[in-house]
Each structure stands twice: as C-alpha cells, then as structure tokens.
Amino acid sequence: MRQTESLLLLGVFAVGLFVVYWLKKHRQARHNQAMAAQLKRYPSVRQAWLAAGANREAVLLVPGLKEATTAVATTATAKAETRLHKHADQCEAMTPQGLAVSEDYLFISAYCSQQEHHSQLYIIERTSGRHLKTVVLPKRPHVGGLVFDRATQMLWLTITGKGMGRVACVSLQALLEDETNQPIAYQQVIELAGITHSSYLAADGGELVSGTFALKQGGVVANYPLSVLSDSGRKAPPRIKPRKRRVTTTKVQSIAFTTEYMLLARSFGPGSAELWVFSKDATVLTRKHALRRIKFPHYLEQIVVEKGQLYCLFESGAWAYRQKGGSIDEVAVLDLATLLQ
C-alpha cells in the first residue's frame, strides 16, 4: 500500500512537472509568434532575431511596463527633491532607457516620465529571465546609458550633470546586497569634460565612451580612460578630460562596438529607428560616412554587443508610448553577423 502511494505521488509529481514545462513552452511559443509579427516590417532585424534562435536566452521581459511597479516617490518641487516621502507608490510611468550585460545579469535603468518617482535599476537573471530585484537610484536622472565593467565588477550609469557630462558607479556587490528600498549611494561620481551632458554610455578598449543626444544639430561623443575612472580612492568627484572627441549625427540614443565596427542607434518619436554602421576608426559619424543603415522598430534605446549578439532595449512598451504603433516589451537579442551581412 505504501509503495502504491509512493508511486502515485511520483506520478502526480511527474505530471505536474510536464504541465509546468508545457505551459512554459506554450507561453514562449506564443510570445515568439507575437515578436516575429512585430518585426515583420523590419526584415533585417527579423532575420537576425530568428538567427539568434537556439542561442537566445530566456525571454528577457522588461519589468514595470504592463503593470504598475513599486517606486519611491519624490517631492513635487526641485528645491525639496532631497526630502523623500516615507512611503512607496505604484508607478505606471516607468520608462526603460539604459541596458548593460554581465556574466549572469541584465541591468535595465528606467525613469518616471511623470517626474514623480526616483529612477530605478532592474536586475534580471540572464539564464531564466527572472526579475531578481529593483534598486532605487538617487533623484530622477534620465539614466540613458549603462556600462558594466567586468574587470572591476562595477556598473557605470549616466546621471544629470551641470554643463558637462556626469557618470556614477556602484559595485555589483552593493547592488545585490541592497535591501533598503531607498536610494542607493553611488561609490563615485565623475564629471566628463568635453560634452555638455551624458545621454548615452558604452565601453570600448578599456575606455568609457559617452555622448550627447542632439535633435536638430549634430552631437558629440568622447572617449575617457576607464583606468582613471576605476580609481575609487578619490574623495572629491574628479573631472576627466576626453582622449578624443567625434562629431555625431542627430538623434543618437546609444553606441556600441565590435572588433571592426561602431554601431549608432538613432531614434526619436514614433517613426522607425535606425542602426547606422561605421568603421571603427571613423572620425565623423554622419550619414555620408555610414557604411550601412538598417531600419529598426521605433523607440530603440540602448544597444549592447555581447559575444556575437546584439542586445536591443526599446522604450515602446512604456505607458507613454504603448499606443503609438505597437510595442516591444522584451530585450531583443539579435545575431550580429546575420544583421551585418
């Protein structure tokens, strides 16, 4: 009798596992069908997304898009901004902006488009797509760019500056250990001379690369030595001069690098976005110097190159943009070789 009960329980457990597995596969199949339909108008992107196929990780959904997310409220006026309400609100206006990738995690930054809550950082497990935690950031920066430095295990992010670029960093350990639900403390804040503000951020060859978004006239992108920035022993925020500066086109939301190419993501408003491809040694990043221009879905934000794949973050799933021609609620992973063919 006892053996029969054990076999019955084992059978029920096996059936339960099968049902969970089937439901997961069914949901993923439906999600993939919806994603393929979203990319139908963008054949190069769709082909690269399909090519990623088996190498793609779990579906990497962006938190806080379809449902309200818990957020720490700020006071309404800038003068009183440092005084926090001691309660957490439900925010429906969080808008994703920056993206970074580590060995185990994805980091996504978001700001409140209604300017009522602190900006946030989402940490997502790469293998499962599970949203592990949300970290509250100081004040309300746009947080348009993120970079994870694997050598130092530090996350760099763009924050609001005064007349020049400004970035801050915090260690992975501090992010994972934070359980306060209040704004985390930056370990270092750096001012970047040579640019008026830091709209986006990337890393290449041991350097941070940051630039300005410009709507009507060209912007500027500059390189800064990461080895200097990684010196966390400084007490006062240092000001770093750029090693080199380049003129960019308009509407640049992010930049990324391969061994051969420089990739610029251009996007603004409900029209299609673009990925412009330049040689890595290009000194002027404008239309006539681009090797190729690839049409992308609208509201493209940060792009990240990671082991032959291009990770693409969109803000089209945010509350402010969902009704403007479809939305992409996940980090799209593309096969880079297929995209650049």
Least confident of 19-23, 53-57, 117-121, 225-229: 19-23
Note the pLDDT of residue 22.
45
- Tens of pLDDT, residue by residue over 10-23, are 655 555 454 434 44
Phi-psi sector, 233: left (phi>0), alpha (psi -120 to 50), beta: alpha
Alpha-carbon torsion angle 156, 211, 287, 40, nearest 10: 40
- Closest by alpha carbon to 290, among 271, 263, 270? 263
Q: What is the pTM of this model?
A: 0.89
* 172/157 Cα distance (integer angstroms): 13
Asked if residue 85 has pLDDT above 80, the reply is: no
* Beta sheet of 309-314, edge-to-edge order: 300-306, 309-314, 332-335
Residue 103 confidence class, pLDDT cut points 50, 70, 90: very high
Residue 67 confidence class, pLDDT cut points 50, 70, 90: confident
% of residues, the chain, pLDDT over 70: 84
- Tens of pLDDT, residue by residue over 306-321, are 999 999 999 999 998 9
* DSSP assigned state of 330: B
Note the pLDDT of residue 83.
46
Distances, alpha carbon 160 to alpha carbons 167, 293, 334, in Å: 8, 31, 31
The residue-averaged pLDDT of 139-161 equals 94
Alpha-carbon torsion angle 262, 268, 273, 279, nearest 10: -10
Least confident of 142-156, 190-204, 230-244: 230-244
Note the pLDDT of residue 26.
46
What rounded mean pLDDT belongs to the chain? 87
Tokens encoding 340? 């650049």
